[in-house]
Amino acid sequence: MRYNSLLYFTQYLLAISFNTMESGALAISPAEYSATVSDSTTQKPPAVTAATVDPVCTWDGAQVFDDTTWTPVASYAYNNYTGPVVGPNLIDQDIMLMVNGLTVEEKVGQMTQIQVGQIIDCNGKLNTTAVEYWIDTMKVGSFLETPANHGGKYNWYSAKRFAEITDAVQAIALRRGSRIPVIWGLDSVRGANYIKGGTIFPAGIATAATFNPQHAYDAGRVAAKDTRAAGVHWAFAPIMDLSVNKLWSRVYENFGEDPFLSSLMAKSSIGGHQGDYKRDRSRVAACLKHFIGYGYPFDGSDRANRHIATHDLLEYYVPPFKAAIDAGSATAMESYGAVNSESVVLSKYYLQTLLREQLKFKGMLVTDWAEINTQATMYHTAKDVKQATQTALQRTSIDMSMVADDESFIKVTVELVKSGAVSERRLDESVARILQLKKDLGLFESPYADPQLASTVGSAQDIEAARNTVRESITLLKNTNGVLPLKLSERVLFLGPTLNSTRYMGGGWNVHWQGPSDKEGDAVYQGFGDTVLQGIQAVTGAAPQYLLGIDIGGTGTIDVDKITSAAQSADKIVIGLGENTYAEEQGNIDSLALPWQQLNLVYTVAAATKKPVVVVLIEGRPRGLANVPKIADAIVNAYLPGAYGGLPIAEVLYGKVNPSGRLPITYPATEAQASSTIWQASYSAYNPQWEFGYGLGYSNVTYSNVTLSSSSLTVGSPITASVTITNKGPYPQKEPVLLFTRQQYRLGYAPEHYRLRDFIKVDLAVGETKTVVLNLKAEDLAFWDRDLLRRIEPAPVNVVINPHVHKGLVAVVQLDADPDHVLERAPWS
């Protein structure tokens, strides 16, 4: 690693001269340490131009567009790291010396994260007086979020403008307070979605639909680069909750409902965000979140209690997090709310026993927004903030409190330590992890933004990477009589609110947390995006015939006469349906159904025109479609494709791209199926609208000759499953090949309907035949029982290829194992 030798040699010389502290450790005082930092960083501090005193308020609060302009480079080189996993490890000696040199107040400050709105003045600009208060007086070591969400002047900050703020804060941090660089965190969830012009990739659910983990890597890598361009070093991503209850407002963020698919996507995303992050200064620290069980709120509302047996938690919900930890995730974020009524943020089992001891996570753990304080103010799991803070520190391994808005954590924690209720050693453990993270990210040598990275924000190279993800994610759900693809010679009428909107393609984590407001509309993108209609014009060379039909909320009435008149000359009709961006009241829903008037637009148009109808869904979760699947001739699910989704959708509609996405979730047919999953008990009926893994293409791909390399499956002896696939045309096809297992019986424990065990996506030219080989291990079929033992029950196992697309090609293998042989034991507490 490229550490500054002068800095650390100076630390060593200083250390040997100071008095020893607890346990006889050497220490470096903050004052002496600060001198080495300010003298030896490889970057020079920027000029601070923000006001240094609280200004007179003259701003009316109406945000404006950031007028920063730049010409993004068309392409750029980057380090595609392929070496050993780089992740958190042991704490370096110089970091321990640094920890021992801090006062209690300084240690607690390092453990505190404050949202940027606390340092934005009433005119929407950086208030350096406030910065100095938080850093000098309160010793805060971390900030988060974008000013755009918290009173900033601009509604979408360019990397340059954002860096002016982060650099100014960093300059103050290096000369005031503890004189330690701050670490800034940002929800760069799908690209650097909070940075103006940063390429917004498809949502997690769409990325998972590609069944190609490379796309998760690409999104993470671009997110890291653009985030770092703004002087931010830490991305709160990837999000890897299992999306079980489809009512949940955050289904779109995650990689679907399947543990294996989510695990591979999470691993790849961590690699993209971090790479060789201890050397590569275009990468950031990733953050696995939300640990744990967040995606199964019992009634679908955000933060609702999750009823998940511990052995089910280990079997289904933990694997993606384990994959992220094994991939080297530098940080983790605990989950909102409670599992089995036990508050996660106060749980020794979840945040110490499970996360640290069983899963061996060595990185830095942060709370979600104000989650310690809300134990007293919202969940009623603590008497007051003091009790919540003390419990969190004593029971868990939380390192940083995203307290966000006030000094409560700082004041309470200092009081707890000085009274002896919490040991200073407990602080040292967390502060060491925090400072080690700062060192690993190079903040002691390069604390400021790299202006050269700003020229790559919005690069054509990045936009094409995002569009390639969309191209492979779009899922064809129905195509009666080959209605799709459309022909250039056909006259097509386009209807519906989602076809002429960039922001509806984005959903959440899209300029703002819940997307642009109605007032901002598409104008906020300032050209960094497209629409489906613009994509259609690019593909066809002509402006499409378009009518709104009905607004996104389904209000107003449908002008049947106007639509019928326009449809008279049309050969086919394409209708775009979907969700609005999630305002707070729209995020939580009581019904999966889309607004009735959106659905009625399909019914009305089909009945009045008698023309073939194609429905394009742009939605963050599977919404109820009532009779639309019966009435529509073709249905395409584009999920939330992001700001550049318009062209790929048009390419799929017109056959320039052959759809190859597969559903990463179960698409319910009824409200009662909201929590149905591919891995539910096999004796429970599984008859959704569309199954997990379902999806069609425009080509006729046939499967045959499924063979296993062995008729028995034993621990330590993996086998392969081979299948022959042929593309009979008429288009080239990217074909996801999915291997599932279904155990015929399992003593004492109901086997799942299906479990995904392996998959690969292959390219097939027209007329090409390939033999695809997939892998299966006996260990894959081990399961966690109620005694928290991971073991195998012998039985015949059906090995099934693409059961919901090609009716399933089945081979049977005998799972041979000693049922008393325990592969793994989980600690109870």
d(CA 698, CA 731): 7
Residue labelled with tokens 């869904």: 617
Predicted pLDDT of residue 588: 87
Predicted pLDDT of residue 770: 98
Known catalytic residue at 522: no
Using alpha carbons, list the distances in angstroms from residue 334 to 192, 351, 367, 392, 587: 22, 8, 5, 12, 21
Within 182-322, strands assigned E span: 183-186, 234-235, 287-291
441-453 burial string, b = 16+ CB within 10 Å, else e?
A: bbbbbbbbbbeeb
pLDDT tens for each residue of 655-697: 999 999 999 999 999 999 999 999 999 999 999 999 999 999 9
| Three-class DSSP category at 760 | strand
Contact indicator for 692, 286 with CB cutoff of 8 Å: no
Predicted pLDDT of residue 726: 97
d(CA 443, CA 41): 9
pLDDT tens for each residue of 769-826: 999 999 999 999 999 999 999 999 999 999 999 998 877 789 999 999 998 889 999 9
Residue 611 exposed, middle or buried by CB count within 10 Å (0-12, 13-18, 19+):
middle
Predicted pLDDT of residue 655: 98
Residue labelled with tokens 């997090």: 321
pLDDT tens for each residue of 215-229: 999 999 999 999 999
Residue 469 has pLDDT above 60, yes or no: yes
Task: Take residue 714 and report the two structure tokens written for it.
Answer: 């034993």
| Three-class DSSP category at 598 | helix
Closest Cα partner for 115 from 164, 165, 79, 68? 165
d(CA 412, CA 396): 17
Predicted pLDDT of residue 14: 38
Residue 32 has pLDDT above 60, yes or no: no
Q: What is the mean pLDDT of residues 384-400?
A: 98
Predicted pLDDT of residue 796: 98
Contact indicator for 457, 197 with CB cutoff of 8 Å: yes
Predicted pLDDT of residue 582: 83
- Count of Cβ atoms closer than 10 Å to residue 474 Cβ: 28
Residue labelled with tokens 């591979």: 264
Predicted pLDDT of residue 627: 98
| Three-class DSSP category at 388 | helix
Q: How confident is the model at residue 26 (pLDDT cuts 50, 70, 90)?
A: low
Task: Take residue 759 and report the two structure tokens written for it.
Answer: 């998959």
Q: What is the DSSP pairing of strand 712-713 with strand 809-815?
A: parallel
Predicted pLDDT of residue 587: 79
d(CA 378, CA 336): 11
Using alpha carbons, list the distances in angstroms from residue 579 to 83, 474, 595, 734: 42, 17, 9, 28
Residue 53 has pLDDT above 60, yes or no: no
Residue 703, phi then psi, degrees to nearest 5: -120, 145
Q: What is the mean pLDDT of residues 580-604?
A: 88
- Count of Cβ atoms closer than 10 Å to residue 330 Cβ: 28
What region, left, alpha or beta, does residue 693 occupy, with left being phi > 0 and alpha being psi -120 to 50 degrees?
A: left
Task: Take residue 324 and report the two structure tokens written for it.
Answer: 């992220």
Residue % of the chain over a pLDDT of 90: 91
Residue 115 has pLDDT above 50, yes or no: yes
Residue 548 has pLDDT above 50, yes or no: yes
d(CA 226, CA 284): 10
Residue 6 has pLDDT above 80, yes or no: no
What region, left, alpha or beta, does residue 273 occupy, with left being phi > 0 and alpha being psi -120 to 50 degrees?
A: alpha
Contact indicator for 113, 407 with CB cutoff of 8 Å: no
pLDDT tens for each residue of 320-357: 999 999 999 999 999 999 999 999 999 999 999 999 99
Q: Which of 121, 258, 368, 462 is catalytic?
A: 368
Residue % of the chain over a pLDDT of 70: 93
DSSP code per residue over 5-32: HHHHHHHHHHHTTSPP-GGG-----HHH
Predicted pLDDT of residue 741: 98
Q: What is the mean pLDDT of residues 435-453?
A: 97
Verify cis geometry, omega within 30 degrees of 0, for the bond prior to 753. Answer: no
Q: Name which residue leads in pLDDT, 623 or 585.
A: 623
763-781 burial string, b = 16+ CB within 10 Å, else e?
A: ebeeeeebebebebbbbbb
Predicted pLDDT of residue 820: 87
pLDDT tens for each residue of 498-537: 999 999 999 999 999 999 999 999 999 999 999 999 999 9
d(CA 251, CA 203): 10
Mean pLDDT value across the chain: 93
Residue 50 has pLDDT above 80, yes or no: no
pLDDT tens for each residue of 61-86: 999 999 999 999 999 999 999 999 99
d(CA 666, CA 209): 12
d(CA 749, CA 790): 13
Predicted pLDDT of residue 584: 43
Predicted pLDDT of residue 804: 87
